[in-house]
Structure 1
């Protein structure tokens, strides 16, 4: 399996601008920024950033997820989910690390796992 370079994952190749609404599924090898509204699922190999004016009603799978706006749906990140001070996550979260700034809102269940590089599989730790 060919690994994606971090450079490719860091490229912001999809933007939903303020005042725009996107209905459907977004799948990308890069990163996504949402300042408008998205109704549908998002799968991106890179990072998802939801700006202050962003509103997403979807299930999300991404490397890292930063929320300054609102997500209504379940999220899965192989890295970090970060809810900023005015961000809202209304749904379940499954990730490696979780940050909620003071003032950020999370309503749902959370599960933290160790993930390996080749996919979202839990690392097994051998008993000594």
Structure 2
């Protein structure tokens, strides 16, 4: 769907398990699943495909960046997804979100701005001109 081949997802090679708390930046390649808590940025490295799965009980406080991101937990910080962003029913995001393709299930919440990657980050709004009855 949407030009993304789900059969070609990278393997999940790393797991941050439930009950684990990591303080500091996490860098990964291929696939990472988080079921614990990360207090720091979670960044996919290297060129190519990357998959980040944020489980239902997971929490990230920091910046998130990967090619394909599946969220069913909590992210507090900006999230950037180069390909497909899947927001599952229990997803909670507090921060701005940038994505190429978005799939959002009923129940998912985003408290921030949703913006496609191809949209400019900041747009100047034209000045508001009010009509006057005074001719």
Q: Deviations over 1:13-52 (max 9, x none)?
A: 2211001101111112221111010001111151111101
Aligned length: 108
- In structure 1, the partner of 2:18 is 18
CA distance in 2, matches of 1:92, 1:65: 15
CA distance in 2, matches of 1:66, 1:78: 12
RMSD of aligned residue pairs (Cα, Å):
1.8
Q: Does 1:76 align with 2:80?
A: yes
CA distance in 2, matches of 1:80, 1:86: 18
Asked if the contact 1:35/1:52 (under 8 Å) is kept, the reply is yes
Shift of 1:113: 2.7
Shift of 1:55: 0.7
- In structure 2, the partner of 1:97 is 101
Q: What TM-score do you get using the length of structure 2 for normalisation? A: 0.74
Larger Rg: 2
CA distance in 1, matches of 2:81, 2:57: 22
1:97-116 to 2 correspondences below 5 Å: 97-114=101-118
Q: Deviations over 1:49-94 (max 9, x none)?
A: 1101111111011011111111111011111111111111111111
- In structure 1, the partner of 2:36 is 36
Q: What TM-score do you get using the length of structure 1 for normalisation? A: 0.78
